[in-house]
Structure formats: structure tokens, C-alpha cells
Structure 1
Amino acid sequence: MSGNLILAPVFIHLLIAIFQLMAWRKTVTQRILSIGGAFIALLSAIMLFAHVFAQGTLTINASNWKAPFSIVFVADLLATVMVLLTSIAGFAVSLFSATGLSRQRMLYGYFPIFHFLLMGLNGAFLTGDIFNLYVWFEVIIIASFVLMTLGGRRNQLEGALKYMSMNILASMFFLTGIGILYGMTGSLNMADLSIKMHNVQNRSLVGITSVFFILGFGIKSAVFPLYFWLPSSYHTPPSAVAATFGGLLTKVGIYAMLRVNSLIFIPDDFTKNLLMVIAVLTILTGAFGSLNKMNIRQLFSYLIVCHIGFMVGGISMFTKLALTGTIFYLIHDIMVKTNLFLISGFIMQLRGIITMEKLGGLYKEYPKVSLLVAIVLFSLVGIPPLSGFWPKIYLFQAAFNNSNYFFIAALILGSLVTLYVVAKMWSEIFWKQTPDGVIEENKFEPLPVLRKLLLLLPIGLLAAASVYIGLNAEAVVQISERIAAELLDTSSYINAVFKN
């Protein structure tokens, strides 16, 4: 039963994708399968999380081989939280896609590729084998590349080229690091590596290998100076695709950093200082890059970069307080960033454009919708008591305890810039009057009520999740503290892997 629970989030999406391939030209069938499958996957993720939260880490060995020789799947609290967040975001994007995506794009195979991507994400979170993690990363890259090029428009192909080239480079660094690891230890099982790496005498080689992983995961997370591909590519695909990318893909890199740094490379002073420098520069470049952006998705893309720096800074300090803040921020960020790109898609449906100087008057026309969007924007900024406020408190406390004053200054600056660009966005899109001539130029018409409600449903669901996270911060802190403790003391993870 426990094995079925671990593998269910992976195989549900695999089966849904296969069924959708069989119904290639039947877009209505694909939509029903997508929403139903995503909902079933969400239920399985909830069951898996509840089981692990109550009873501890679950494992399953492929073909019943014993660790460390088998490919093992491990569902600890961190992995199950990531699977749960992926399932929530995936369900919301599936709902939005059913209404917000054109039939032409659906006929290109959007829905099966979307579920292959979710399958790859869940596989990456649940694997306990470092090479298998690389394999799941490749599944994610292939699926995301297809989604990014769906429709074949010029700007999509240009963005996809930058995205693919940088991810190939990341995979090269990752695979090189794996090869060196295997040469040093003769193992690929992460729990086994955690034990054997302590006995490696050549610590310089261990340090060099850790840099390969930092480079590989850094590119995937879009950290400085390897971030430029993200704002060049995330604004090009349809909003449903951009929501999946913005909410989940960069967070796989953060997850991998947490997993590898806790099990294989315990950060030394050099690694901590390197990650802190990267974090501060990532916050600054993301913040300053967002200041002059008038395209909504480009603005959100730079905010993704900025806030990735918050989490990398927490990882660099590697204390329980800092990791608690990082995990909490990760939970908050997946919900909010996914929702922001869905909101940009909703605005595109209303107006046909997402350039701020050509927008305006939305609050006057859609006051209730505007207030819903305001909740999401307040969560992004971190207005108390919403979800973005609490993890920053933990990161500030951890930085003060470690005397990381440059990081504190970067956190403050990043938060202020986020507040400024969100206020500018609200003023340009919702508060000001619609510029003269824009209505005639774009010829937009009011959305049908039913379609508008269907588009708003996933936005409302994710907004409710953000509000729940903020108002029930104590429960989220409890989960985050447990995860932080497990990352600092990996004995429960290792024992769970080897008990089978």
C-alpha cells in the first residue's frame, strides 16, 4: 500500500498522458481527462502527505532490489510537500488550460505533454537516486521545451532556444558531477552517498564536485549570473504554460540544492560564502531588472529571479531557522508565482494585451476581480498576515544571527522593489483610465460570464491557498521546521532507505 502511495503521483500523470494521446483530436475528452486526472493526482498527493506527516518517511525499491543497488523512491516530508504543491498548482493550471487555451494549441498535444511534465516533476521530487534525478530532469526539460515551442511563433522559438541551450549546459555540469561522485564512491544512491562521502579523503575533489552541482542547479534555478534565459523565455509561451514554468520549474533547482546539500555535500564555509554572494547578486539583478519592465510577464519573470535569491540565501546559511524560512518561502512562492502568470493570462483574455501602458480601467469594470488580484499581489509583497510575510521574518532572524548584513540589505531592497513594481502594476492596469484609442485599436469585447468564471476559478483556488498559508502560518511553520530538522539530521532518511 505504501509503495502504491509513493508511485501514484507519477503513474497517474503517465496514464493520463497516454489516454490523452489516444484521444489526440478530441480536445473535449482531453480537457475532461486532464482535469479529472489532475484532481485524482491531487487526492493521491494529499493522502501521501498525510501518511508521511503522521507515520514518517516511506520508501520503495524498484524490482525489489535492496538499497543501495536498487533505484529507490523516497517520500520524506520535503518530497511529499513538493509533490502536494505541484499537484495543487497542476490542478489549477489544468482548470485554466481547459478554458484559457485555444483549440489549435490543444491539437498540438498540449495536454499530454503537460501531464508528462507533471510526471517528471513528481519523479524528481520522489527519487532517492542521484542519476535517476538527472533522468527526471531530462524528462522535465524535454516536456517543457515542447510546451514552450507549442504554436511555433518566432518569439517562442527564440525563447525556447535560450531556454534549451542553458538547460543543456546545466545538464552537462550535473552529469559531470554525478560521474565524479560515482568515481569517488561507486554509488549513486543518495542515502549511500551521504555515508560514503564522509570517508572520501580528497576533500579538494569533493569541493570541486560540489561546484559542478551548484552550477547545474544554479542554472536551473536562474541565479546570478546564469539567470538571463528566464526573463528571455518565460514571457513567450501561453499563460498556462508560463504559470507552470514560473511556479514550479525553477523550484526544482532549489529542491535539488536542498537535497544534495543536506545529504551529499554538507556546506563548508567556502560553499556558504559562495551561495551567499550568489543570493545577494541574484536578488539585486532580479529587482533592478524588474524596474523598467512594462510587459507583465517579463516583470513577473524578473521577480522570480529576485525571489529565488531569497531562498538561495536561506540555503547558504544552512541553519534550522534559515532553512525553516526557505521552506516556508518555497511553499508560498509556488502558489503565488503560479497564480501571477494565470492572472496575466486572464488579463490577456480580457484585453488581448499584457503591456501595462496600454492597459487600465480594470478596477472600474471588474471591481471584485481586481480585489481578488489584490490579495495575490499583497501576498507577493508580503503584507501581513498574508503568506509572503512570515518566511521573511525567519530569513531576517537567521541573517541577523549569522551577521549576514549584506543579505539583510538585499532582502530589504528586494522587498521594497517588489512593493514598488506591484504598486506600479496596480496603478497602470487597474487604477488609471484606459488610454484613448486602445479599445478601438484592440477591439476587445467583454468575456462571456461563464468563461470568465471558469478562468477565475483556478485563480481563486490559488488565492485561497495563499490566504490559508498566511492565516495558518503556525501549521506551515511546524511543517517547515520538521523539514529543516530532517535536512540537518538525515539519519531518518538514511534509515528509511536501508531498512528495506
Structure 2
Amino acid sequence: MSLEVALPIIIPFLAGSLSLVFYRAPLVQRWLGVAGTGALLLASIVLLYRTYTDPDQVLSIAMGGWPAPYGIVLVSDLLGAIMTVLAGIMGFATAVYSLPTISRDHEAFGYYPLMHLLLAGVCGAFLTGDVFNLYVWVEVLLVASFALLILGGERAQMEGAIKYVALNLLSSILLLVAVGLTYGMTGTLNMADLVGRFAAMENQGLVTVVAMLFMVSFGIKAAAFPLFFWLPAAYHTPPVAVSALFAGLLTKVGVYALFRFFSLLFTQDVGYTHEILLWGAGFTMITGVLGAAAQYEFRRILSFHIVSQIGYMIMGLALFSPLALVGGVFYIMHHIIVKANLFLVSGVVYFLRGSYELKHIGGLWRTHPWLGLLFLIPALSLAGVPPLSGFFGKYIIIRAGVEQESWGIVAVALVVGLLTLYSMIKIWAEAFWKAQPEEHEERARAFEAAVSGKRLTLMVLPIGALAAITVFIGLGAQPIYELAYAAAEQMRDPQIYVNAVLGDTQ
């Protein structure tokens, strides 16, 4: 029994429960946030090591002692273990950043218990081996994310939350319908068991219909074209620590589910399903980057770029060659770190200048050159500038497209990369290079004076750590590539997953 598989879910639940017990002790909640997410990170690293060194590179645990496919199983293959480590990194970085940035009012309304609940839902989605329980974990994180989104009750938050909830509820309804049809067709919801059941069905057209329902549902949650507009309407409204956590993890649950389902379950008609994914990837890249180009609010620019970068990940899945899958996994690892870090940087800018509007801020390079450097590392990585992590992720995916002679999507990926660089240069020129506008200078001085050195240090620590990871992924790309390659090899051979989960019950 591999108890390590369950720990990334148990730890945040336990930390969240303790946070509720100490509801009237904010200091205890804060350090429980750091300790709980730190324990989650350590448990996820151990899980990845155990998974990578296991002979099958897949670990599973049957809950309640009921063997698969009759009981609920948790499964850690390399893709799930990688995603869990990334969740641990994001949780720990956000918890440290929250110490000086989350207000006492937000803490009183349950910020820390909700953060732990969100992490439990995310890790549950990454590790479940059951389709219905994937739905359950997605709903857990949806409830937690909605509560975090409206924490504070400001008008802008409520407007963004309405769009966020409306489209995500539509996605959940479609997901539940797809789950019901799957069970009605096959009599099972265990993912490993479904591999053989779907392959043996006479009516493969019906399997494709169910695949499309899952595709639309997970596409909405991933903020893919055309139902992506809930994300830029919502992610710029909550506290910046919440925005960073959302940017790093929430859409990646949808991306992960697409990778899981369309490499494990729905590979019978790749020429149809993955072609649709490829078109969706192209339009997602274009609409996201054009939306970002039109914005002048720091977090809205970053929110639209989440959408455009999701397109690169889906492109890796859609091309479905070994190299493309490697690129997709590599890009997910790079993007989660970089995008969350950019949101954290935007928070420091706000605390120093009192605004997210680029027209209202400036002069940061002269007064805080270290912040300019910490911005440039993830910004240039996002744009794909060598030798940072984003360059290698884009290079692998684009090379896979060239090898398959998919010239249209390759051209889109290259153009979107250039437009991403334009957006990052725009932020640099407005926030860092130009002088602070005189009409907003008094407010900027007041905000900067209110930030103590200790508070600023706590904000910068996770930013610096994530920037160091970005540089490491770029300069030390080989071990990350090898990990992504091993994960892609598993996805190309579903029988590895099936044998590890079902064993002698097949």
C-alpha cells in the first residue's frame, strides 16, 4: 500500500481543519499556512521520487481496501506526481507571500482554511484514478476558489465572480452529464478499467460524443477558446496572493484533465478529437495574446496571457507525437512557476505604487532595480527568450509541429511568442522605465512609505525563489526534459497505467 499517494490530500485537509480550530488565532493560522504547505511540498517531492524510482513508475492505493475497479483508487503516475509537486511549490510560495499581504479582514473570513481546501481539491484532482471522484475534487476546488474570489465583497470581485461561477457551473454540468453517460455505457468509472471498456465498444461514434463532452467541460475549466472570458474578468479582482494561486493552478487542473483523458481514454479517433484540440489551441493562443495587447492594467495583461499560454500546452497534446507530449509537460512545469511569479511581482508593484494601472506607475527601475530584475526573469521566460525555461518549452513544442509539418499552428505559436514579448516590454516600459507620473507621485510615496523592510522582504522571498527555479529550468533543462520525457512515454503507453492499477484483476 502506497500511503504516499494519499498524503498530498490528507495534509492540506488536516492543515485546513486545524486552521478552523484556531479560527480566533490569526497568528496560528498564518504559521499553519506556512507549515501545512511546506509539509505538502515535502510530501509531493517524496511522492515524485517514489513514483520515478518505482519499476512501473506508477503508484496506487485502494481506499477502504476495495480493489480496483470496484473501489476508489488514488493513482500517482509521473504526470500526476509532477503536477502535485507544482501544487506544493505554489501553495508554499503563496503561503509565505500571504503573511505580509493578506489583511486581517480576509483572515477573519477564512482565507487560510479556504487556501488549504483549494490545495486539497487540486491535489485530489491530480491523483484520483476515478472519473466521478475527479468531478468531486473539481467541485471542491470550485467552491474554495469561489469563496476566495469574493473574499472582501468588493464590487469588482462580485462582477468577476458571477462570470467565473456561471461558466464553471456550466462546465460542471457538462462534466456530470459526461460522467453519467460514461457509467451508463461501460458500467465503470475507474480510469484504468475504462481504457479496455472504451476500446471494446462497438459504437465508437458514441465514445467520440462522450469525448467531446469531456473536451468542452475541461476546455472551459482550462480557459480555452471560445469560453475563456471568465478568467480575465475574475483573476485581477481578488488579493494578489489569491490571483497568483489561481494563475498557477486552477486552469492547469483543466489542462491536466485534458492530457489525462485524451492520452489515456480517448485515443480511438485521434484524427478527429485531436484535430479539434489543435484548432482550439491556435485560437486560444491568438485571442489571449490579442486581449493582452489591448490592456493597460498589470494583472489583466497577465490574465489574458494565461489564456494564450494555455494554447501552447493544448498544442502539445493535440499534436500527440512523443516530442509534442514532452513539450506539453515541460511547458506546464515552466508556466506554472513563471505565471504565478509575475502575479506576485505585480503585488509588490502595487504595494510600492498604489495601483495596478500602468499609466499611474513608473520609475521602479531607478528606485528598485532588484524588482526590475525579478520581473525580467519570468517576463522574458514567458516570452520564450533563451536561455530561460520558456524558450525550451516553446522550442520543443514548435519543433514537434515542424516535424509533423503542421505549419499553420507553428506560425501561430511563433507570432504569439513575439506578441507576448511586446506585452512584457510594455509592462517594463510603463512600470519600470518611464518616470513616475507627477499626478500620482504623492500616492506612490505614501504607499512606499507604508511598506516596512520586513514586510517587503517576506514578499520578495518567494518571488526570488520562483525566479531561481525559472533560471534552473532554463540552464539545467536536461533533467527537467528527462522527467517530461518519462511522463510522455507513460502517456503514449496507457497499458502501463492500466497494469499498475488493475494488476491481476484484469
TM-score (norm 2): 0.97
CA distance in 2, matches of 1:436, 1:67: 67
How many angstroms does 1:475 deviate by?
Answer: 0.5
What aligned pairs does 1:278-317 form with structure 2 within 5 A after superposition? 278-317=280-319
CA distance in 2, matches of 1:444, 1:144: 29
CA distance in 2, matches of 1:492, 1:175: 27
The aligned residue for residue 342 of structure 1 is: 344
The aligned residue for residue 489 of structure 1 is: 493
* Counterpart contact for 2:29–2:112, Cα < 8 Å: yes
CA distance in 1, matches of 2:73, 2:178: 20
How many angstroms does 1:150 deviate by?
Answer: 0.2
* Counterpart contact for 2:339–2:378, Cα < 8 Å: no
* Counterpart contact for 1:381–1:388, Cα < 8 Å: yes
The aligned residue for residue 18 of structure 1 is: 17
CA distance in 2, matches of 1:92, 1:4: 25
SS at match of 1:360: coil
CA distance in 1, matches of 2:403, 2:165: 40
How many angstroms does 1:445 deviate by?
Answer: 3.0
Which of the residues 467, 471, 474 maps onto 1:467?
A: 471
CA distance in 1, matches of 2:108, 2:435: 38
The aligned residue for residue 481 of structure 2 is: 477
The aligned residue for residue 95 of structure 2 is: 94
Post-superposition, which runs of at least 4 consecutive aligned residues in structure 1 deviate over 4 A?
Answer: none
Single out whichever of 370-379 and 65-74 deviates more from structure 2. 370-379
CA distance in 2, matches of 1:307, 1:373: 18
CA distance in 1, matches of 2:290, 2:375: 24
The aligned residue for residue 168 of structure 2 is: 167
CA distance in 2, matches of 1:405, 1:193: 35
Could you report, residue by residue, the CA deviation over 1:52-87 in whole angstroms, capped at 9, with x for unpaired residues? 111121110011111100100001111110000000
How many angstroms does 1:360 deviate by?
Answer: 0.3
The aligned residue for residue 234 of structure 1 is: 235
The aligned residue for residue 108 of structure 1 is: 109
CA distance in 2, matches of 1:401, 1:365: 47
* Counterpart contact for 1:311–1:330, Cα < 8 Å: yes
Size of the aligned set, in residue pairs, is 499
The aligned residue for residue 8 of structure 2 is: 9
The aligned residue for residue 498 of structure 1 is: 502
Q: Which letter does structure 1 place at the counterpart of 2:137?
A: W
Q: Quick check: 1:450 aligned with 2:454?
A: yes
CA distance in 2, matches of 1:479, 1:110: 34
CA distance in 1, matches of 2:448, 2:251: 35
Q: Which letter does structure 2 place at the counterpart of 1:27?
A: P
The aligned residue for residue 220 of structure 1 is: 221
SS at match of 1:74: strand
Could you report, residue by residue, the CA deviation over 1:77-98 in whole angstroms, capped at 9, with x for unpaired residues? 1111000000001100000011
The aligned residue for residue 397 of structure 2 is: 395
CA distance in 1, matches of 2:120, 2:171: 21
Percent of aligned pairs with the same amino acid? 42
TM-score (norm 1): 0.98
Could you report, residue by residue, the CA deviation over 1:241-266 in whole angstroms, capped at 9, with x for unpaired residues? 00011111001111000111122111
Q: Which letter does structure 1 place at the counterpart of 2:356?
A: I
CA distance in 2, matches of 1:252, 1:381: 23
Is there any run of 5+ residues in structure 2 with no aligned partner, and where?
none
What aligned pairs does 1:279-428 form with structure 2 within 5 A after superposition? 279-428=281-430
SS at match of 2:188: coil
The aligned residue for residue 204 of structure 1 is: 205
SS at match of 1:445: helix
SS at match of 1:389: helix
SS at match of 2:312: helix
CA distance in 2, matches of 1:15, 1:49: 21
SS at match of 2:177: helix
SS at match of 2:178: helix
Q: Quick check: 1:253 aligned with 2:257?
A: no
The alignment yields a C-alpha RMSD, in angstroms, of: 1.0
How many angstroms does 1:483 deviate by?
Answer: 0.7
How many angstroms does 1:441 deviate by?
Answer: 4.3
The aligned residue for residue 47 of structure 1 is: 46
CA distance in 2, matches of 1:280, 1:170: 21
* Counterpart contact for 2:87–2:249, Cα < 8 Å: yes
Q: Which letter does structure 2 place at the counterpart of 1:369?
A: L
* Counterpart contact for 2:51–2:77, Cα < 8 Å: yes
SS at match of 1:388: helix
